[in-house]
Structures are given as structure tokens and as C-alpha cells.
Amino acid sequence: MVMAKDSTRFSIIRNGARLVHSKGYNNTGLSDILQAAGVPKGSFYFYFKSKDDFGLAIIDHYWAFINHMGETYCSDGSIPPLERLAGFMDAYQKHFERMDLRGGCPIGNLMQEMSDLSEAFREKVGDVYSRMQDRISQLLKEAQNQGDLPSGIDPDRTAQFILNSWEGAIMHMKLIKSSEPLKVFRQMVFEQILKQNR
Amino acid sequence: MVMAKDSTRFSIIRNGARLVHSKGYNNTGLSDILQAAGVPKGSFYFYFKSKDDFGLAIIDHYWAFINHMGETYCSDGSIPPLERLAGFMDAYQKHFERMDLRGGCPIGNLMQEMSDLSEAFREKVGDVYSRMQDRISQLLKEAQNQGDLPSGIDPDRTAQFILNSWEGAIMHMKLIKSSEPLKVFRQMVFEQILKQNR
């Protein structure tokens, strides 16, 4: 019974998360979600108090994917930290290309769409965004400790700038349906910003 | 009669553009637009074939504002080009602060929301975005001609990176309701990226 319950809830989240990723949160109706998951309305309300309750749950789902990518590409201490960061970003570029450059970053999408509309979304998206930023910051600190990054670089501010710039590049990728913005971003970050000597 | 016609159409656009800026395009219903402009449905359809026809028209409205800001801050040849670019960005930061860091960039919002949903929006937003990018690129070229920017910097790629990074910083500003991301962006761009010596 627990299995069945978890599996229906998970199916609603997984299918709903995919819909929201491609259409936007407000543009996805409850009926779309029910249809995608193949469940009746009563079943939805058995698992979620409201559409927003579901919306907040899919943020955890997006985070689980991002965190998995982070663990996969950023945690192997035998690889130099900046190479891990580059590998993480390259893996995401391939992921976006497999999705035909559609969808973009689900966290960036909700950040853009929901920040002015819901405090609950703003808080939860903000929490995930901070964790993404922290991971980049940790890699920069490691690189500094290993002498691979000039000590004059502020890891926290630089991590914030890199993540924001990446989100902007992903948005532009979606607009022009080309991965060129990601390539320009990568070159600017790894061949210029992280090679500063001041 | 021409005056009256233009003024009603303009009122629908101006009020509608403000709504879309604060709520998102798909989240703004036709009834919201009619109510904000104080016109009946028949009047709306006298001026616009459809909601999308209206949506495309507000992109021109947003562009008119951005272009006006550009003309105001970027065209005075007696000011060094990079100072003009910084002045333009500072003016926008003040503008965002006056709006309580809500709304963000209306073009960035539509880029994020509509790129996968409508080819007509994607094309029109893409056109405006190219023009924004070109303005930054022109300033970088001018700076290079005046010897204020190292010749090794590629103006087009750097302009693209700066604009994308700015859009990412504006999105983050909206999320954390702080202008700190814009300050970090400004420092990274003007004290690091545009001071490269390679």
C-alpha cells in the first residue's frame, strides 16, 4: 500500500514536473496534470492540498535532479575542482541539446515566473538557488586552496555571478535555439573570469 | 477620430503591458486586460485580432522604453563609451529599485516564458534582444577604437555575454528582492571582464 501510494504521488509529480517545465506553472492547468498522470481529481487531492502544494513539491523533484548531476560531476576529489565545474556544465549542455534546447532550467523558469507572485515559491526556489550557488562556491574555494585559482577572486561573489550568468545564457539558448550562448559563457568563465590575476 | 482611436489602443497596450510585466503573459487573462484599460471586449477586438496580436504589440511598447533609455544614456559621444554603458545600467538599477525590485526585465520575462510556446513571440523577442545586444556591442567597438578596451576582446561575443549575464542578474534580483546581484554584475563586468589584458 505504501508502495502504491508513493508511486501514484511520484507519477503525478514526475509527469506534472515535465509539463510545468515545458509550459510554465500558471499555464499548466490542474486538468493537464491529471491527464498527464492519468489520475482522477480526487486522487490528486489525496496527495496534495492544492495546486501550489503540488508546485512546491515539484521544486524538490527538480532539485533532486540538479543535486544528482552535482554529485555525479562535482564530487570526485581526484579531478581538479575547476575541471569538475566545467564537466558539470558540459554535461548540462549535452542534456539541453538532447532536449532540443527546449525547457531550459526549471529553477530559472520558476524564478522568473513566480518570484513576484508567491512568497512560498520565492522562498523555496531561493533555497534551491542558494544551494546551487554554494556548490559552485565550494569548488572555487577548493580550487583556491589547491592554487588553481588566484587568491584575489572572491569565491562567493564569483559563484553568484557565474550562476546568474549561466541562467541568463540558458534563457538565451532557449530563445535562439542554439547552444552558442552556453559556449560563449563557458569560454568567458573559464578562459577569462577564472584566470584573472588581480 | 484618429486621436481617439490611437489613444484607446495605446491605453490597452500601456495598461496591458504593465499587467503582463507583473503577472506574466499566460497568467494575464483578456478580462484582466479589459478591466485595466476600462474597455469592453468589442473594443479590444476592434484594435487587436487576438490576445497574441496584443501580446506582440506590447513587445514594441517594451522596446520603445528600452530604446529610449538607450538613446538617453548611450548616445552622447562626449562621454566615454564604457561610462555610457555603466550609466545605462545604473539608470536601470535605479528604475528597478523604484519598482521595489519587482517585474524585472519585461523582455527577459517573455524570453523565459514564451520561447518554447510561440514562434511569433520567439521571433519578435529575439529581434528586440538582438538590438539590445547590438547596442552594447557598438559601445564596446567604440571603446576599442578609442583605446579604452583591449583589442583582444571580441565585442560581439562579449556583448552577448554581458547582456545574458545582466538578464540573469535581474532575474536573481527579483528572486532575492535585493539589488546585490546587479552590483556584483557591475563590478565583474567593469572591473574584470572589460579590463582583460589578453
Among candidate residues B160, B110, B112, B161, the one with its CA nearest the CA of residue B134 = B160
Is it the case that residue A27 has pLDDT exceeding 60? yes
Specify whether the backbone of B196 is left (phi greater than 0), alpha (psi in -120 to 50) or beta.
Answer: beta
- In B, which residues are within 8 Å of A196 by CB distance? 192
Taking residues B187-196, what's their average pLDDT? 90
Taking residues B142-165, what's their average pLDDT? 96
Q: Do B26 and A22 touch (CB under 8 A)?
A: no
Q: In 3-state terms, what secondary structure has residue A103? A: coil
A126 vs A103: CA distance, rounded Å: 20
| Cβ contact B38:B12 at 8 Å | no
Length of chain A, in residues:
198
Is it the case that residue B7 has pLDDT exceeding 60? yes
Taking residues B47-53, what's their average pLDDT? 97
Cα end-to-end span (Å), chain B:
61
Please give, rounded to a whole number of angstroms, the shortest distance from the CA of A179 to a CA of chain B: 13
Q: How many CA atoms lie within 13 A of B73 on its CB side?
A: 19
Among candidate residues A91, A92, A86, the one with its CA nearest the CA of residue A108 = A92
> What pLDDT score does B195 carry?
86
> What pLDDT score does A1 carry?
45
Instruction: Label residue B41 by pLDDT band (50, 70, 90).
Output: very high
Is B99 near chain A, with CB under 8 Å? no
Is it the case that residue B75 has pLDDT exceeding 80? yes
% of chain B with per-residue pLDDT over 70:
95
Taking residues B8-33, what's their average pLDDT? 96
> What pLDDT score does A198 carry?
41
B160 vs B138: CA distance, rounded Å: 12
For residue B148 the three cell numbers come to 579604452
> What pLDDT score does A4 carry?
58
- In B, which residues are within 8 Å of A167 by CB distance? 168, 171-172
Please give, rounded to a whole number of angstroms, the shortest distance from the CA of B1 to a CA of chain A: 38
Instruction: Label residue A91 by pLDDT band (50, 70, 90).
Output: very high
> What pLDDT score does B146 carry?
95
> What pLDDT score does B196 carry?
64
Q: Do B169 and A171 touch (CB under 8 A)?
A: no
